[in-house]
Structure formats: structure tokens, C-alpha cells
Amino acid sequence: MGCRQYIEQLCEHFEEALSRPECARLREHLEACPECRAYLNSLRETIRLYRTLRHEAPAELCQRLLAILELGHEDSAGNPH
């Protein structure tokens, strides 16, 4: 198997590839191949960026949501003020 196929396997299994029994050859290959290790690291980095960068709901939207659902004017016990 060449690097191309190993990279396909990496994209399919990603972190799970490091523990799946059927990925034993991939793990061996990763130890020996700096290019494929770099690929794995850049894949990790890409996913980390997507996880780190979140779009946050604006505060006024939350207030509006709670108001629509008539949940905005209660104390923690659920009693209307």
C-alpha cells in the first residue's frame, strides 16, 4: 500500500485509526513516514480549528427565544415574577 491509500485510511478513520485493529499497518506506516505523520497532524489541526471557532448566538436572540417560549420571566424555581 502506498502513502495515498494510507492517507485515505487516515481520512476515513482519523484518530480511531490509532486504535482500530484493522489499521495496524497504517500505524506502522505512520511511524516510518514523516509525510503521512504530517498529514495526520494537519488533519488534527484543521478539525481543532473548526471546533475552536464557533459562531455564537447573539445575546438578544436568546432573550427573544425565551420570550417567544414564554420562559423569559421566571426565577430558577419556574415561578413567574
Partner 1 sequence: MTHTEEKELLLRLQAGEREAFRELVLRYQHRLYDLLYRMLRNRTETEDALQEVFLQAYRGLPRFDGRSSLYTWLYRIATNTALMRLRRRRLKTVSLEEPPEGLAQEVHTRAQGGETPLDRMLTTELREHLDRWLAELPPLTRLVFLLRDVEDIPIGEVAAMTGQTEWAAKGRLKRARAHVRNRLEAYLKERT
The nearest distance, CB 30 to partner 1, in angstroms, is 16
CB 72 within 8 A of CB 66: yes
How far apart are the C-alpha atoms of 33 and 12, rounded to whole Å?
A: 18
How far apart are the C-alpha atoms of 1 and 16, rounded to whole Å?
A: 19
Site string for partner 1, 53-72 (x = CB under 8 A): xxxxxx--xx-xxx-xxxx-
The nearest distance, CB 73 to partner 1, in angstroms, is 10
Q: Which of 14, 20, 24, 27 binds partner 1 (CB under 8 A)?
A: 14
Contact between 19 and partner 1 (CB under 8 A)?
no
- The residues, any chain, with a CB within 8 Å of residue 73's CB and separated by 6 or more, are 80, 81
Comparing CB distances to partner 1, the nearer of 24 and 71 is: 71
Q: Which of 11, 18, 27, 28 binds partner 1 (CB under 8 A)?
A: 11
Q: Which three cell numbers stand for residue 5?
A: 491509500
